[in-house]
Amino acid sequence: MPKKVAAPPRPPAPKRPARPSEVRIIGGQWKRTRLAVADKPGLRPTPDRVRETLFNWLASLAGAGGGELPGWHCVDAFAGTGALGLEAASRGAANVLLCEQDAALVAQLQAAKTKLSAETVRIERGNGVTALERTTAGSLHAVFLDPPFESTALYEPALRAAARALRPGGAVYLEASRPWTDEELAALGLASFRYLKAGAVHAHLLRPASEGTA
């Protein structure tokens, strides 16, 4: 009786090529526009659900209908993909600074600005904390802070500079790997206004401590 010959092992299934990662603008004039996300260590675009909630919070502070932020002045201090700052511009912000240190990401931001014809957006290669420290005190409606989670030394100086730059009624968005306590925030002149957790992301909306949390 002939011996059975073992079937040759199946070759591993070919890996599907990774599709370019994207985020989308959620509201405003560029709603549903997709932005490319580069494969960069530490680059962590704010999830769509978190951004949607954040901009609902901000629109309620703006007191405008349709989720708009008319006339707002904003700084996205660690811009990365630019999703936060470009979302603000899409919703009517009058002036948005996107600050980013990585040259390749700056080039990607410039390409997005050109694609959108985003005249209210400025892009600067440099340190986000320094950009905030140069900003006129009391001039910003919103500051977006989502540095790489491992860059823990950036958080306190960025929050302190953002608090100084905020105008009355303004807000700071802070994204971190942990919740920040009331005591930590108070020492920097800020108070928690809204908070949510989505996966590893702790999203805080902060206001000047003098304005309370109501």
Q: What is the CATH number for 164?
A: 3.40.50.150
Residue at 86: amino acid letter: L
Cα-Cα-Cα-Cα dihedral sign, residues 211, 167, 156, 154: positive
Domain ranges, residue 187: 21-211
- Is the residue at 13 inside a domain? no
- Is the residue at 154 inside a domain? yes
- Is the residue at 164 inside a domain? yes
Question: What mean pLDDT value characterizes the chain?
Answer: 89
- Is the residue at 122 inside a domain? yes
Interval 111-166: pLDDT, tens: 999 999 999 999 999 999 999 999 999 999 999 999 988 889 999 999 999 999 99
Q: What local confidence, expressed as pLDDT, does residue 96 receive?
A: 98
Dihedral of the alpha carbons of 80, 128, 72, 203, in degrees to the nearest 10: 60
Tokens 């080039």 correspond to 107
- Number of domains making up the chain: 1
Q: What local confidence, expressed as pLDDT, does residue 15 receive?
A: 45
Higher-pLDDT residue of 67, 69: 69
Dist. CA 183–CA 171, nearest whole Å: 18
- Is the residue at 6 inside a domain? no
Q: What local confidence, expressed as pLDDT, does residue 55 receive?
A: 94
- Is the residue at 15 inside a domain? no
Query: Is residue 25 scored above 50 in pLDDT?
Result: yes
Residue 26 tokens read as 């959620």
Query: Is residue 211 scored above 90 in pLDDT?
Result: no
Q: What local confidence, expressed as pLDDT, does residue 21 receive?
A: 78
Higher-pLDDT residue of 121, 81: 121
- Is the residue at 187 inside a domain? yes
**CA of 25: how far to CAs of 54, 84, 177, 201, in Å?**
13, 9, 23, 19
Q: How many CB atoms lie within 10 A of CB 137?
A: 11
- Is the residue at 121 inside a domain? yes
Average pLDDT over residues 31-42: 80
Dihedral of the alpha carbons of 166, 154, 25, 39, in degrees to the nearest 10: 170
Residue 23 tokens read as 């985020």
Q: What local confidence, expressed as pLDDT, does residue 66 receive?
A: 79
Q: What local confidence, expressed as pLDDT, does residue 23 receive?
A: 86
